[in-house]
Amino acid sequence: MDKRWCSEEKLAALREGDCFREWASLDDQRICVLCERKFCGRQVRITGRKGGRAQLHCPSENCAGTPREWVLPGNPFTSEKAWADWSLTFDTEDNTPGFRKPARLPFARAAS
């Protein structure tokens, strides 16, 4: 069963477990590029520690998304900041079991 986290603990765990992007608060939003779900810090699943770091997981069931696959909300075709953020995801190679690169841009529809 999931451990119950108080807000401060959870925010600290988000910051600790996500070395890619800043968490300003538990209301910060992210989009998981694997399942295209938008969620906020409160919804992130945290499972214990590995190597001293909190392990963060996408709130969607059966989704292998981790902070590496979470981007800031924004359209990468119209926002330079969002694009730079997306590039982070595409440029990384990962051999983690279950990791797959997104087959397409979730926002491609919105860009036309």
| By CB under 5 A, residue 58 contacts Zn ion | yes
What does the alpha-carbon distance between residue 77 and residue 64 come to, in Å, rounded to a whole number?
Answer: 26
| By CB under 5 A, residue 13 contacts Zn ion | no
Which is it for strands 38-40 and 70-71: parallel, antiparallel or unpaired?
A: unpaired
**Amino acid present at 110:** A
| By CB under 5 A, residue 82 contacts Zn ion | no
Task: Closer to Zn ion by CB, 74 or 112: give it.
Answer: 74
Task: Closer to Zn ion by CB, 11 or 32: give it.
Answer: 32
What does the alpha-carbon distance between residue 17 and residue 67 come to, in Å, rounded to a whole number?
Answer: 8
Beta bridge partners of 95: none
Please give the residues from 33 up to 52 whose contact with Zn ion meets the rule CB under 5 A: 34-35
| Residue 62 C-beta: closest distance to Zn ion, Å | 9
| By CB under 5 A, residue 60 contacts Zn ion | yes
| Residue 107 C-beta: closest distance to Zn ion, Å | 15
What DSSP character marks residue 99? -
What does the alpha-carbon distance between residue 59 and residue 102 come to, in Å, rounded to a whole number?
Answer: 18
Footprint on this chain of Zn ion (rule: CB under 5 A) = 32, 34-35, 58, 60, 63, 65
